[in-house]
Amino acid sequence: MRFFERLKAAASAEWRVYTEHPFTNGMADGLLAEAAFRHYLVQDYLFLIEFARAYALAVYKAPKLADMREAAAGLSAILDVEMNLHVKLCAGWGLSPHDLERAPPAIEMLAYTRYVLDTGMRGDLLALQVALAPCVIGYAEIAARLATRPEAHAETNPYRGWIAEYAGAPYQAVAAKARAHLERLAESYSTPAREAELIAIFKEATQLEIEFWEMGRRASQRGE
């Protein structure tokens, strides 16, 4: 079993809750509360800014030039591609760049991104990439699953754009590349004795992803 599959197997309960969360299913069937999605969109923009910092940290932590280039490519993908796509998606929901930049960060967003950055500061590049994996690789898995549901592509589904973006070939390629890089790092720097530590990081990051979905539901209930 490859390294990422071992991580998922060890965190199978958390991974299932994350990737099959009602928030994601609500996007597939178009029944997710719009207030929940709008709150998520704003916080995800702030999240991307912090994830860009994590990729900048990955450049610093990289032990080899090839790893530095991998991290630099990830940083560029966030700053130059994904954030622009996110701004366009938000515009369709009436959210301007000004709205996004002035929004206060949610506790759930801060907890998740601070955890990833702290993991990277305390550990090596492999630990940081394990903390990043639930987001980078998980979104591809979630969107691919949602895209198999016919209602996900209905013209009346307001979330079809999000599903199409993450289920599309460009993002799926990004996730596949990140997974391949993670496997190479694990081959070089993981040991049987260390794997329990890495599994714990993966579980914690996945739980924080679950909290990110829950954040939108709670905001909707509060009427935000």
Pairwise CA distance, residues 59 & 185, whole Å:
14
> 30: phi > 0 → left, psi -120 to 50 → alpha, else beta; which?
left
Q: Which of 209, 211, 214, 224 is catalytic?
A: 209
**Is 209 a known active-site residue?**
yes
Contact residues for 135 (Cβ-Cβ < 8 A; gap 6+)? 51, 205, 209
CB distance 51 to 134 below 8 Å: no
Cα 206 to Cα 20: distance, rounded to the nearest angstrom: 12
Sign of the Cα pseudo-torsion (74, 77, 83, 88, in order): negative
Establish whether 135 is a catalytic residue: yes
Q: Which of 90, 108, 135, 204 is catalytic?
A: 135
150 DSSP 8-state letter: G
Longest dimension (CA), the chain: 51
**Catalytic center residues:** 135, 209
